[in-house]
Structure 1
Amino acid sequence: MTYDVAFRHQQALDPSALTTITTALHAIQAAITDCRNAGKDVETDSAVILLTRHLAAISADRADDAMLRQHCMTEIAELRRFPALRTLAYRGVAYDEAAKRAFHAEGRTAMRRLAEALCLDEGGYDIRSNKAGPAVSGEITLHGEEVWVQLSLSALGPDNEIIYRRVRGRSDHLGDRNRRASVRDLLAPDSFAARIRTELALTPPVAEPARLFA
């Protein structure tokens, strides 16, 4: 036995109340749900098709494709220049799985950039991500032969998201005393790496040998 309602067909015949992308999209989603409940094919349902065309009509006058594509590329460039990690750290990610996933993805990227700024050898460090439970942020940890750096949202609040210390190998999980920094420091990896090298008295990176030209 199937279950169907007439409401989506009525909306499709008179969509005048659907004046925004949000309301039109909601109507489409509701229509798709009705189709599935009734065992109807969503791809050929007349109401779904008409509602989808109405959504296209609503968005048709927003801007032309070239301008929209340019805006998308601009947004991508801005997000790469100013990653969401700082915002996520300040607003928190507890009980928000999507935000927590983004926090850990960007945290791992930031740790890789810090490892490069510290001139750590490839394979000479680990980056671990522990998401832990839904009520906490979890941690992203960079662990090298001499340095340990961890990003997490602790109870100490803003500007205390980073803990770093000197260690003696990757099996050393205690190390020397902890020092703290802000997530803003992590987003400036070159200056933060210089600070870490100085404060922890790390072994200077080996300079690359000069190339000889014939």
Structure 2
Amino acid sequence: MTYDVGYRFSQALDPSGLDTIATCLHALQAAAKDCSNAGKPFETDPAVVLLAQHLGSVATIKMPDRPALRSLCGDALAEIARTPLLVLLAARGVSYDADAKRTFHTEARRALKRLAGDLQLPAKSFDIRVCEGGPAVSGEVILHAEELYLQVSISGFGGGEILFRRCRGRSDYCGELNHWARMPALLDTSALARRIAQELGLFLAAEIQPRLVA
């Protein structure tokens, strides 16, 4: 393999082609690799510093000033806080994003545990399991009880991300007619439990009280 360890200096002296944040970042990453190839420290390399300064100037041109950017970041954080993770992940998808997919599985399992409690399912009368699937899909998080099969997934098929149907035991994977709900239904599992009981004709020992949603 041949190394062009001098290219970063030429690019730093004439960065005219680096006119977007993306191209500047690519140049910085390439400069870092050049430093490693040449055995030079990255932080104090003059080409790297010049390229970083050029990135700053491009970013200043492309975006508002610093106070405005801080305000926009604050607004974005507030919006994220108002949008629970499950809803956010359902909107953006998790395909080919292992971290997002793992987070989806964790959050869905937690929601299904709350739902099982609201459905008054005895501790050993149901299973919650994950079908991982491949990297292109979200996989499914499944609640399987004696009379209920429910799965949560993120896909473009069906009438929603939550599929539920009545079944005949935990060895019945086909069950009866499919019913659908959207992901936000998992934000209020007590309301979802009442809906499931009503649509599937399940018996609940007592009236489910609405859950306070933080």
TM (norm. structure 1) is: 0.69
Count of equivalent residues: 197
Per-residue CA distance 1:123-177 (angstroms, 9 max, x = gap): 94664333222354321123467644212367x92425433234688xx242753
Q: 3-state SS of the aligned residue for 1:159?
A: coil
Percent of residue pairs bearing the same amino acid type: 42
Which segment is superposed worse, 6-15 or 160-169? 160-169
Q: 3-state SS of the aligned residue for 2:43?
A: helix
Mapped partners of 1:72, 1:123: distance in 2: 45
In structure 2, relative to structure 1, the CA distance for the partners of 1:39 and 1:4 (3 Å cut) is farther
> Which residue does 2:75 correspond to in 1?
74
> Which residue does 2:172 correspond to in 1?
174
> Which residue does 2:138 correspond to in 1?
137
> Which residue does 2:96 correspond to in 1?
97
Of 87, 90, 107, 1:86 maps to 90
The 5 Å alignment of 1:9-28 reads: 9-28=9-28
Mapped partners of 2:203, 2:121: distance in 1: 17
Q: By how many angstroms is 1:51 displaced?
A: 0.6
Which segment is superposed worse, 29-38 or 66-75? 66-75
Q: 3-state SS of the aligned residue for 1:181?
A: strand
Mapped partners of 1:77, 1:114: distance in 2: 26
Q: 3-state SS of the aligned residue for 1:35?
A: helix
Amino acid aligned to 2:133 = A
> Which residue does 1:109 correspond to in 2?
107
> Which residue does 1:188 correspond to in 2?
185
Per-residue CA distance 1:48-106 (angstroms, 9 max, x = gap): 121112112222352343332332232233344273333346xxx5xx421x6424523
Amino acid aligned to 2:103 = A
Amino acid aligned to 1:102 = A
Q: CA-atom RMSD, angstroms?
A: 3.7
> Which residue does 1:211 correspond to in 2?
none
Mapped partners of 1:113, 1:136: distance in 2: 20
In structure 2, relative to structure 1, the CA distance for the partners of 1:122 and 1:77 (3 Å cut) is farther
Q: 3-state SS of the aligned residue for 2:172?
A: coil
Q: 3-state SS of the aligned residue for 2:77?
A: helix
Mapped partners of 2:64, 2:46: distance in 1: 28
In structure 2, relative to structure 1, the CA distance for the partners of 1:38 and 1:204 (3 Å cut) is farther
In structure 2, relative to structure 1, the CA distance for the partners of 1:69 and 1:120 (3 Å cut) is farther
In structure 2, relative to structure 1, the CA distance for the partners of 1:197 and 1:136 (3 Å cut) is same
